[in-house]
Amino acid sequence: MFRICARTGGLRALHGAAASRGFGTKAAAPSRLRNVVWATSVAVLGGLGYVYVTDTRAGVHKYVATPLIRLMDPEDAHNLSIWCLKHGLGPVDRTDDADVLNIELWGKQMSNPVGLAAGFDKNGEAVDGLFNLGFGAVEVGSITPHEQAGNPRPRLFRVDESRAVINRMGLNNDGAQVCGDRIKSRFWRMLAAQSRRQGETVASLAAGVNRSARADRLLGVNVSKSKASAPESYSDYVDGLNELGAYADYVVINVSCPNVKNIRAGADVAVLESTIAAVVRARNQMPDYRPPIVLKIGPDNDHDQRRLIAQLAIDYRVDGIIATNTTLSRPHGMDDPNEVALQTGGLSGEPLRKMALETTRDMYRLTKGRIPIIGCGGISTAEDALQFAKAGASMVQIYSSMTYDGPGKVCEIKDGLVDLLKGRKWSDIVGEDARS
Give residue-wise pLDDT tens across range 339-384.
999 999 999 999 999 999 999 999 999 999 999 999 999 999 999 9
DSSP code, position 296: E
- Asked whether the bond before 142 is cis by omega within 30 degrees of 0, the reply is yes
Can you give the pLDDT at residue 200?
87
Nearest-10 Cα torsion for 284, 361, 436, 102: 60
Instruction: Return the pLDDT at 26.
Output: 52
Distance CA 392, CA 306 (A): 15
Write down the pTM of the prediction.
0.89
- Cα separation, 297 vs 305, in Å, equals 11
Q: Please give the helix or strand (H or E) that residue 253 lies within, else none.
A: strand 250-254
Q: Nearest-CA neighbor of 401 among 374, 376, 379?
A: 379
Nearest to 78 by CA among 146, 172, 145: 172
DSSP 72: S
Low-confidence ranges of the chain (pLDDT < 50): 1-25
- Sequence-ordered strand ranges (E) for 306-424: 320-323, 346-349, 373-376, 393-398
Rounded Cα distance between 172 and 97, Å, is 34
The CA R_g of the chain, rounded to the nearest whole Å, is: 29
Strand order in the sheet with 346-349: 156-159, 164-167, 346-349
Backbone angles phi and psi of 321, in degrees to 5: -135, 130
pLDDT for 18 equals: 43
For 309-343, the pLDDT digits (tens) are 999 999 999 999 999 999 999 998 899 998 999 99
How many other C-beta atoms are found inside a 10 Å radius of the C-beta of residue 208?
8
